[in-house]
């Protein structure tokens, strides 16, 4: 074997055997094996294999960078090698990551970050931390690339301290249960500086981030599943992969899903499953703020992003977290030209001291701002109720949806009949004799319901179309096809003052 | 011992179980009313009901204990 081949082979094997054994013991794969599973066969070309190779034990300086293909589309990748100094960042590690970001920008290629890193090498801090091409440049580049090329993070191990911002700036984060973690200060540091005793899993584990903080988008049971999720997600960024002219769902099947009573819960996911192409959906942030569903799916082969109220969880009421989740997803779809579908069944934004103190108004404003700014084809469907600012946040008529469709079960109002009658006639009701009250209330509710009846609203052109639920799939497919070439710019200004 | 907690702030509309009942994971045990919506609260574990902390019309905060279960083995 030539000297070059021999050296290359040694560098490609990463760190010493004990670190490989440690990796296997934790149920983790070697970084190069992860890339092999992710990328099309023989498509990968590597840059910087010899980085820091004059030093012993620093193969590729702990990060593999290069270009390959996923399902035939060119992508750039960086993968921390945790068998080399725990995947920590030295000067050349940082330089390699910056360079692959620059390559992604030049090639206009998606960039995948396979993260498994202990963070900065403190011993090398002067070289890798503060300077113009120090670690800060990685995050600067991420912000610059955001919305230009998809950035996907697969988190297999730790993403510590400053390194935690790599996932934070990615479009989506896939985390492996039990092994992935993300935190600014480790449990050891928390104990030292604030006296808090906490486990790593509680502090920054995958499940916590996917269900509580919202920093994670997908919780994978193992590394293979994480890679499969990344590929599935990536497919929505590629051209339609198939056309499925599935017939409309049967009346019997679909009519039993949506209850006529506005206050009874139902599973919106069952409705979505009957609307979209079979096995075409991928839910984002499934475990976080589940009262609002954000999901990619295909409709006759066309990728769409769905935002839907889930009355089965917390009544489908909008909270601060659900508004943030929606805002983020809308921005993601809009950046990459994925049309939006809003399925509305919303009692409004939550009320009460707890949510007001947590700033529900500014969170709601984020959602309304993101939805207003979205210029991709957007269709809103009022499935049942659309009350209060919930109608606005879910792309109501004032927010320029290309079409606002109402089902016969739709109801649009500032608030529902019960709350409205109480609000308007409270003093009068209180002054009445108890036996007269109920009759009065029922009469007023009936009058209110007639006033907001959906046919009346359709007559006033408040909605653009009325469609039976069983015809909705066909109607939506036609409309997305017709709106596909929509080209508008929301504004010529530099940027708005975002409500954050 | 396992607790079933209120998932949202609101009032108790209906308690669906009694002390001594054996219940399954995923079974609805209490219906809350919040924002004029009826919101079922499900047990996340199977077990026998040993205590009921609320009655109809009670106000509850998110996280308040509704039901206590002795978990099935």
Question: What does the pLDDT look like over B2-52, one tens digit per residue?
Answer: 999 999 999 999 999 999 999 999 999 999 999 999 999 999 999 999 999
Residue contact B36–A311, C-beta within 8 A:
no
The chain B residues in contact with chain A (CB within 8 A) are 7-9, 34-40, 61-62
Partner-chain residue, chosen from A313, A348, A354, that has the shortest CB–CB distance to B35: A348
Mean pLDDT of chain A: 94
Q: Which two tokens stand for residue A178?
A: 């039990």
Average pLDDT over residues A386-408: 97
Instruction: Examine the pLDDT at A250 and tell me if it is beyond 70.
Output: no
Residue contact A354–B61, C-beta within 8 A:
yes
> Which residues of chain A make contact with B36, given a CB cutoff of 8 A?
263, 347, 416, 418-419
Burial of B28 per CB tally in 10 Å (0-12, 13-18, 19+): middle
Give the closest-approach CA distance of A288 to chain B in angstroms. Answer: 14
A110 part of contact set with chain B, CB < 8 Å: no
Residue contact B40–A265, C-beta within 8 A:
yes
Q: What is the reported pLDDT for A248? A: 63
Q: What is the reported pLDDT for A487? A: 85
Residue contact B38–A352, C-beta within 8 A:
no
Q: What is the reported pLDDT for A371? A: 98
DSSP-derived pairing of the beta strands B47-52 and B22-23: antiparallel
Q: What is the reported pLDDT for A251? A: 66
Flag the least confident range among A14-28, A119-133, A303-317, B13-27.
Answer: A119-133
> Which residues of chain B make contact with A265, given a CB cutoff of 8 A?
37-40
Q: Where are the domains of chain A?
A: 3-235, 251-410+463-483
Average pLDDT over residues A84-100: 97
Give the closest-approach CA distance of A284 to chain B in angstroms. Answer: 22
Partner-chain residue, chosen from B7, B36, B40, that has the shortest CB–CB distance to A347: B36
The pLDDT tens digits for A51-87 are: 999 999 999 999 999 999 999 999 999 999 999 999 9
Size of interface A-B (CB pairs under 8 A): 38
Average pLDDT over residues A356-377: 97
Instruction: Examine the pLDDT at A241 and tell me if it is beyond 60.
Output: no
> Which residues of chain B make contact with A264, given a CB cutoff of 8 A?
38
B interface mutation test: which of A314, A390, A413 has the most B CBs within 10 A?
A: A314
Residue contact A351–B38, C-beta within 8 A:
no
Flag the least confident range among A275-279, A306-310, B48-52.
Answer: A275-279
CATH number for A3-235: choose from 3.40.50.1980, 3.90.226.10, 3.40.50.1370, 3.30.1780.10. 3.90.226.10
Q: What is the reported pLDDT for A271? A: 95
CA A168 centroid distance within chain: 12
Q: pTM of the prediction?
A: 0.95
Phi, then psi, of A303 in degrees rounded to 5: -70, 135
pLDDT band, very low/low/confident/very high, at A36 (cuts 50, 70, 90): very high
Instruction: Examine the pLDDT at A430 and tell me if it is beyond 80.
Output: yes
User: What three-state secondary structure class fits A363?
Assistant: helix
Look up the ipTM and state it.
Answer: 0.92
CA A115 centroid distance within chain: 18
Average pLDDT over residues A82-96: 96
Tokens 């979209």 found at: A276
Neighbours of A95 (CB within 10 A): 23
Instruction: Examine the pLDDT at A245 and tell me if it is beyond 60.
Output: no
Average pLDDT over residues A342-352: 97
Per CATH, A3-235 and A251-410+463-483 having the same topology is answered yes
Instruction: Examine the pLDDT at A155 and tell me if it is beyond 80.
Output: yes
The pLDDT tens digits for A158-197 are: 998 888 899 999 999 999 999 999 999 999 999 999 999 9
Distance separating alpha carbons of residues A285 and A268, to the nearest angstrom? 16
Q: What is the reported pLDDT for A465? A: 98
Distance separating alpha carbons of residues A483 and A87, to the nearest angstrom? 47
- Please, where are the H alpha helices in A124-186? 125-128, 135-145, 165-169
Residue contact A418–B36, C-beta within 8 A:
yes
> Which residues of chain A make contact with B61, given a CB cutoff of 8 A?
354
Instruction: Examine the pLDDT at A8 and tell me if it is beyond 90.
Output: yes
User: What three-state secondary structure class fits B30?
Assistant: strand
Domains and CATH numbers, chain B: 2-71 (2.40.50.100)
Q: What percent of chain A has pLDDT over 70?
A: 97
Tokens 């606002």 found at: A404
> Which residues of chain B make contact with A419, given a CB cutoff of 8 A?
36
Q: Per the CATH hierarchy, to which homologous superfamily does domain A251-410+463-483 belong?
A: 2-enoyl-CoA Hydratase; Chain A, domain 1 (3.90.226.10)
Residues 314-343 of A with CB under 8 A from B: 314-317
Residue contact B37–A263, C-beta within 8 A:
yes
Q: What is the reported pLDDT for A247? A: 62
Q: What is the reported pLDDT for A239? A: 64
pLDDT band, very low/low/confident/very high, at A484 (cuts 50, 70, 90): confident
Residue contact A347–B35, C-beta within 8 A:
yes
> Which residues of chain A make contact with B8, given a CB cutoff of 8 A?
314-315, 317
Q: What is the reported pLDDT for A485? A: 80
Instruction: Examine the pLDDT at B63 and tell me if it is beyond 60.
Output: yes
**Residue A77 · residue A67 · CB < 8 Å:** yes
């Amino acid at each position: 074997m030539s000297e070059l081949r021999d050296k290359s082979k040694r560098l490609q094997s990463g760190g010493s055997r004990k670190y490989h054994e440690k990796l296997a013991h934790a149920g983790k794969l070697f970084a190069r094996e992860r890339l092999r599973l992710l990328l099309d066969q023989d498509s990968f070309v590597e840059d910087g294999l010899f980085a820091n190779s004059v030093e012993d034990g620093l193969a590729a300086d702990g990060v593999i960078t290069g270009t390959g293909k996923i399902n035939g589309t060119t992508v750039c990748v960086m993968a921390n090698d945790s068998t080399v100094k725990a995947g920590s960042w030295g000067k050349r590690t940082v330089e390699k990551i910056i360079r692959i970001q620059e390559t992604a920008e030049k090639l206009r290629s998606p960039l995948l970050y396979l993260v498994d890193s202990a963070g900065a090498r403190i011993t090398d801090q002067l070289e890798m931390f503060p300077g113009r091409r120090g670690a800060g440049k990685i995050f600067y580049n991420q912000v610059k690339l955001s919305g230009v090329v998809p950035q996907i993070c697969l988190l297999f191990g730790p993403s510590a301290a400053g390194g935690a911002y790599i996932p934070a700036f990615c479009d989506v984060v896939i985390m492996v249960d039990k092994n992935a973690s993300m935190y600014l200060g480790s449990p050891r540091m928390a104990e030292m500086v604030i006296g808090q005793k906490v486990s790593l899993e509680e502090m920054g584990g995958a499940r916590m981030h996917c269900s509580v903080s919202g920093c994670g988008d997908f919780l994978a049971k193992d590394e293979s599943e994480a890679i499969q999720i990344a590929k599935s997600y990536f497919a929505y960024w590629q051209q339609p992969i198939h056309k499925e002219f599935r017939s409309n769902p049967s009346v019997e099947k679909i009519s039993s899903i949506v209850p006529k009573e506005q206050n009874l819960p139902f599973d919106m996911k069952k409705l979505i499953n009957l609307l979209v192409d079979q096995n075409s959906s991928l839910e984002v942030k499934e475990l976080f703020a589940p009262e609002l569903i954000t999901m990619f799916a295909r409709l006759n082969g066309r990728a769409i992003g769905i935002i839907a109220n889930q009355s089965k969880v917390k009544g489908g009421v909008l909270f601060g977290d659900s508004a943030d989740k929606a805002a983020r997803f809308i921005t993601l779809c809009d950046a990459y030209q994925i049309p939006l579908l809003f399925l509305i069944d919303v009692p409004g934004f939550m009320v009460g001291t707890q949510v007001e103190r947590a700033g529900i108004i500014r969170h709601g404003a984020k959602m309304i701002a993101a939805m207003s700014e979205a210029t991709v084809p957007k269709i809103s469907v009022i499935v049942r109720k659309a009350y209060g600012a919930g109608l606005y946040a879910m792309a109501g008529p004032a927010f320029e949806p290309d079409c606002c469709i109402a089902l016969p079960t739709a109801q649009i109002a500032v608030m529902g009949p019960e709350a409205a009658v109480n609000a308007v006639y409270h003093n009068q009701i209180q002054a009445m004799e108890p036996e007269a009250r109920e009759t009065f209330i029922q009469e007023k509710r009936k009058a209110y319901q007639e006033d907001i009846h959906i046919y009346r609203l359709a007559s006033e052109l408040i909605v653009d179309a009325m469609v039976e639920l069983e015809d909705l799939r066909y109607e939506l497919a036609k409309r997305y096809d017709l709106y596909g070439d929509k080209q508008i710019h929301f504004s010529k200004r530099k940027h708005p003052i975002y409500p954050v | 011992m396992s607790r079933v907690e209120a998932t949202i702030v609101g009032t108790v509309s209906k308690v669906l179980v009694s002390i001594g009942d054996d219940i399954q994971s995923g079974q609805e045990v209490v219906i809350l009313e919040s924002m004029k919506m009826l919101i079922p609260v499900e047990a996340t574990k199977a077990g026998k009901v040993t205590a009921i902390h609320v009655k109809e019309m009670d106000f509850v905060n998110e996280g308040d204990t509704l039901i206590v279960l002795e978990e099935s083995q």
